[in-house]
Chains A and B, each alone.
Chain A
């Protein structure tokens, strides 16, 4: 086990506080101090602060192992997952804010759930198909390399860090963000999804889609799961362009 422990520091947390149930109290930053412990993550630290210093502090954790995507927040100005952030990797002064672009629930807690449900509805983030499942049939075959490539995009945990860190999403609430574009790419490369090129073109090619992106690519730097978001962006632009350049008949069979 890596032993990175140094002598205990006193960490100084500046935490954004606002409870919508108390509208008369203005939003403010609150200072907390906490003695650092070995392997302390922000999950450990925030729970200690709540349990020992201020039980009204709101934040979200669930899996505490960086797979559920609940705990996205701004850590010293950078959106990331709090549970996988070790205090040892941070300076003594730690500023915590809720993710921007999402509706605030209270303090560090934001409503990513509704945002992502709307996104999935908007891009039809499911396998579009006409046929019914046949319980007596063998599964349709798929090359393992294709399955791996789909899985690579499917790994997005919808934490919202890419959206919060996106210059466009911060000014345009309907922009799909990298998470939305990645979700599109994931289904676009899936042979089980039967959407036609024009149908895909409709989803990705307006200003809420891939052409809304102005290429800052903070998403690619920030993704806690290291999704290849730069590749997604290039893939979708190529697909959209190819689709635009390919003559096709308007069909009524696709949405």
Chain B
């Protein structure tokens, strides 16, 4: 072991959720340390493009917006898989979070008074923005929302927000260790004490002990190999930490979002803001097929719905052929060069740099691509992990769970900041109550586990399978068999094949024994856990015999609220060959399960009354491992308040 550090709050992950947690905990007077795989400003939060949802209601098309509408849209978007209290907390806090970011320097696009020209549902529309709103934060339209709600800075919103938050981290003098990977949590089965980490500069092991540990490592999209918009670092390193305790459950890992407009074939994200600002999706006959299939929301139905329409179109032979396979077109030409180069500047650059086209003149080849992990480390509303005192999680790494089975565009950036504020505060409060009385024997045993694992990889002789081959096989299985359209048959095959890969990796060998950080070793140390995350995802999808949000079973196309209005919890017990799945209620229901307003799916209604369902939630979640919260369950639900937004929703 090279070094040994202690702090009050340890944040694993230097993206937006982690850094916002760190700022909150530091402001509460706690000593905070942040670990990050990359310098924090290179975290994948920087790649978020189009916007951050908050119901400020500042422009004409946002008039009348409020947290009730935002709550409604979020729960409908989740296909009722969300914890509604968390969705309510989120919707209430998002406006303050956005304004705080403005205070910290985010150059939000602002309301321009007077005549503004927009594209709405395929038509150019001129709207006068009133002088009374001049200079307030502007909104753009996004998918699945009743009002224009996404606050934005061109198409570089994530970058602008990340730089502002990281600036606060530096201003507060918070210690950040970049190129530092947490390999394991130090815990005694009930209480977490920090992590054993590996330095990605030197390869040395370091122990970071803390009274409270926060996992904020983002998603696990890279289990889909190259079929993802995610950065190469999004390999689920935080979900692994929790999974490998054998205690902490991962929630709803089968809830995987596919973004409609991944650039084809590289998979680079092209923001939903393109469609928000009026872009069209066209098939090979230049036909606006999504607008026809979704007359109400058109191209701005939720992502799961639009992605399915696109893939179905391609399956029907109406995709555009290319040497990499079929795609559809995203057409932005009518938005004009000036708009593209200012309000969608990053899209214009990506088109220029990666496919060599000018989107003002040419159409963009796109195809649905893995984008977001709704699932993650299961936590209560304070962000405290199930079954593990002193462990917290926030952002995409967590299953908090405001997204349920489908996240709305712009709700993830907003979640990182809102959850960061709350979880940072809770982690700080927890740390303030605790002492750091951990035995050195326990710490040493976790260090030894990791040094043994490294020695095992370095020492394994022969020419076994390559870790990169196993990784590629994982990606193919996940995309082809645990993808947008799922069937029991294919999921069974996926489970079998993933089990095979878990056997295969036991004989895999490294080609390089280079000392230092050794990139091949670095990846090998993650890969077995990536396979396990894949298996948990596939098994969860196989077991869930219904369609809800992004989890779509062609063989079970109905949403089944009588049997599946619940959350999957997956644990991987120490030494077990397979994970165990269990279920808990999604949370207390305020908005009764109903129609989403797009997608046209049918459903089986719940048999229980809302009251019966809600009465069982607390006991069932406690049995599932939920720890006590600072306030009682349901304290922040504003029962029935959503009716102020949309009285018809009670139907």
Contacts and interface: CB of A to CB of B under 8 A. Distances in A.
A and B bind:
yes
Interface of A: 1-2, 4, 19-22, 38-39, 41, 50-51, 54-58, 60-70, 84, 86, 105-106, 111-114, 116-117, 120-121, 124-127, 129, 133, 135, 137-144, 147-148, 150-151, 154-155, 157-158, 187, 190, 192-193, 225
A117 B176 contact: yes
B38 A62 contact: yes
B159 A157 contact: yes
Interface string B151-179: 00110100110010001101100001011
Contact of B515 (A21, A50, A144): A21
Contacts of A62: 38, 42, 44, 231-233
Contacts of B611: none
Contact of B41 (A54, A86, A116): A116
A1 B326 CA distance: 13
A63 B46 CA distance: 9
B47 A144 contact: no
Contacts of A1: 322, 355-357, 365
B232 A64 contact: yes
Contacts of B342: 148
Contacts of A148: 107, 109, 154, 342
B512 A55 contact: yes
B39 interface: yes
A171 B193 CA distance: 45
Contacts of A125: 167, 170
B135 A144 contact: yes
A3 to B, nearest CB: 9
Contacts of A51: 466, 468
22 contacts: A19-B516, A21-B202, A21-B517, A41-B354, A62-B42, A62-B231, A64-B268, A65-B266, A68-B42, A112-B39, A113-B39, A113-B40, A113-B178, A120-B167, A127-B103, A142-B135, A147-B107, A151-B107, A151-B154, A154-B107, A157-B46, A190-B105
B172 to A, nearest CB: 9
B99 interface: yes
B99 A135 contact: yes
Instruction: Determine chain A's interface SS by DSSP, over half rule.
Output: loop
A188 to B, nearest CB: 12
Nearest to A112: B39
Given A64-B232, A65-B350, 16 more contacts: A21-B203, A22-B515, A55-B519, A62-B38, A65-B268, A66-B353, A68-B38, A113-B38, A113-B39, A114-B178, A116-B41, A133-B100, A139-B108, A143-B110, A144-B112, A193-B105
The 6 closest A-B pairs by CB, nearest first: A113-B39, A21-B516, A141-B135, A126-B167, A2-B356, A55-B520
B134 interface: yes
B639 interface: no
Contacts of B156: 67, 151, 154-155
Contacts of A113: 38-40, 42, 178-179
A140 B171 CA distance: 21
B621 interface: no
A220 B170 CA distance: 27
Contact of A141 (B103, B134, B202, B514): B134
A67 B347 CA distance: 11
Interface in B23-74: 38-44, 46-47, 56
Given A67-B46, A147-B110, A192-B103, A61 B167 contact: no
Contacts, number: 200
Interface string B443-468: 00000000000000000000000101
Given A50-B519, A141-B135, A144-B111, A154 B42 contact: no
B80 to A, nearest CB: 31
Given A1-B365, A113-B38, A113-B179, A106 B44 contact: no
Nearest to B510: A55
Nearest to B342: A148
Contacts of B233: 62
A153 to B, nearest CB: 9
A140 B102 contact: yes
A157 B233 CA distance: 17
Contacts of A67: 46-47, 156, 159, 346
Which of B40, B107, B202, B517 neighbours the largest number of chain A CB atoms within 10 Å of its CB? B107
Nearest to B39: A113
B138 interface: yes
Interface residues of B, number: 77
Nearest to A107: B519
Given A19-B516, A61-B232, A116-B39, A127 B108 contact: no
A87 to B, nearest CB: 13
A106 B232 contact: no
A4 B178 CA distance: 39
Contact of B518 (A56, A66, A225): A56
Contact of A69 (B42, B109, B171, B202): B42
Interface string B348-375: 0110011111000000010000000000
A142 B110 contact: yes
B323 interface: yes
A84 B351 CA distance: 11
Most A CB contacts (10 A, CB to CB) among B99, B168, B178, B365 go to: B99
A1 B160 CA distance: 30
Contacts of A114: 39, 178
A183 to B, nearest CB: 9
Interface string B258-271: 00000001101100
A121 B170 contact: yes
A225 B136 CA distance: 28
Contacts of B353: 66, 84
A127 B346 contact: no
Nearest to A135: B96
A139 B99 contact: yes
Contacts of B268: 64-65
A56 B268 CA distance: 27
B115 interface: no
B32 to A, nearest CB: 15
Max chain B Cβ within 10 angstroms of own Cβ: one of A60, A154, A187: A154
A16 to B, nearest CB: 15
Interface in B254-283: 265-266, 268-269
B167 to A, nearest CB: 4
Nearest to A38: B323
Contacts of B138: 144
Given A105-B201, A139-B99, A151-B160, A117 B171 contact: no
B137 interface: yes
Given A121-B170, A142-B135, A54 B202 contact: no
Of A50, A138, A144, the most chain B CB neighbours within 10 A belong to A144
Nearest to B42: A68
A86 B352 CA distance: 12
Nearest to A127: B105
Contact of A65 (B47, B510, B516): B47
A232 B342 CA distance: 19
Contacts of A225: 349
Contacts of B468: 51
B338 to A, nearest CB: 12
A20 B202 CA distance: 9
A130 to B, nearest CB: 12
A19 B514 contact: yes
A195 B46 CA distance: 27
Contacts of B517: 21, 58, 105-106
A192 B322 contact: no
Contacts of B107: 147-148, 150-151, 154, 190
